[in-house]
């Protein structure tokens, strides 16, 4: 794994609890499956939740989320993007296990 991806995963680990809480709150308020998109620049993270039916979500991303989702809908999807390098990784957390 490259250095940028490791940096993204490390930052996710540091903020995991608050990101999971943000994901849960957003998903409940929108009442729809989606993903939390996290944009990292200079160790600062900005997060935005998009539902799978939001026009900002590409068909490829939408299908990826649907395909990876489980029958209990307990998975949380976090896209982590390093703005400088455009490196993006997907982190999937099972909320039944994480909470």
Q: Quote the pLDDT of residue 43.
A: 80
Span 10-20, average pLDDT: 96
Q: What are the counts of helices (DSSP H) followed by strands (DSSP E) for the chain?
A: 3, 4
Give the model's pLDDT for residue 49. Answer: 98
**What is the pLDDT confidence band of residue 99, given thresholds at 50, 70 and 90?**
low
Q: Are strands 87-94 and 34-41 parallel, antiparallel or unpaired?
A: unpaired
Q: pLDDT above 70 covers what percent of the chain?
A: 98
Rounded to 5°, the CA angle 2-16-40 comes to 50
Interacting residues of 92 by C-beta distance below 8 A, sequence separation 6+: 68, 75, 76, 77, 78
Contact 96, 74 (CB under 8 A): yes
Quote the pTM value.
Answer: 0.93
């Amino acid at each position: 794994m490259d250095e940028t991806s490791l940096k993204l995963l490390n930052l996710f680990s540091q903020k995991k609890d608050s990101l999971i809480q943000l994901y849960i709150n957003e998903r409940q308020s929108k009442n729809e499956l989606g993903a939390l998109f996290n944009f990292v620049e200079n160790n600062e993270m900005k997060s935005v939740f998009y539902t799978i039916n939001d026009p900002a979500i590409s068909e490829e991303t939408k299908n990826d989320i649907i395909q990876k989702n489980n029958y209990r809908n307990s998975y949380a999807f976090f896209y982590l993007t390093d703005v400088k390098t455009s490196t993006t990784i997907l982190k999937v957390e099972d909320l039944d296990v994480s909470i």
